[in-house]
Amino acid sequence: MKLKGINKNLVLVLLLVVLVAVPFVINKNAAFEGSDGGAETMIQSINPEYKPWIGYLFEPPSGEIETLLFSLQAALGTGVICYYLGYTKGKKKYADH
């Protein structure tokens, strides 16, 4: 890599932060809603008669509960990823000695 001496992953993380922040700057008043909502309205405009023929068995009762479940999903996943990375890092250190 050309980026010797600089932590490449740190640069990538910074790039990621910029990428996520830019939309708020260039598109200040946008609603930032899910694009599947856009697909839903699109379906209604193409075929106004179409009604969903089946609903969800379970829907999170509120936005808070939905956020809870989403955070849980992300937290559990991150936990597993960091477990693996820590485990292999320790193992490697031990093997190198």
Partner 1 sequence: MKKLSIPLTATILLLIIAPVYTFGMHIMEGFLPFEWVIIWSILFIPFFMLGLKDLKKIFARDPRQKILIALVTAFVFVLSALKLPSATGSSSHPTGVGLGAILFGPKIMAVIGTIVLLFQALLLAHGGLTTLGANAFSMAVVGPFVSYTVFRFMRKGNVNKGLCVFAAASLGDIATYIVTSLQLALAFPDPVGGVTASAVKFLSVFLLTQIPIAAAEGILTNIVYDLIQKNNPEGEEAYEIKGYK
The residues of the shown chain that bind partner 1, judged by CB under 8 A, are 1, 8-9, 12-13, 15-16, 19-20, 22-24, 26-27, 30-47, 50, 52-60, 66, 69-71, 73-74, 76-81, 84-85, 87-89, 91-92, 95
Contacts of 32 (CB under 8 A, 6+ apart): 23
Angle, CA 80 vertex, CA 62 and CA 19 arms, to 5°:
70
Q: Closest approach of Cβ 6 to partner 1, in Å?
A: 14
Q: Closest approach of Cβ 11 to partner 1, in Å?
A: 10
Contact 32, 23 (CB under 8 A): yes
Cα–Cα distance, 14 to 20 (Å, whole number): 10
Q: Closest approach of Cβ 2 to partner 1, in Å?
A: 10
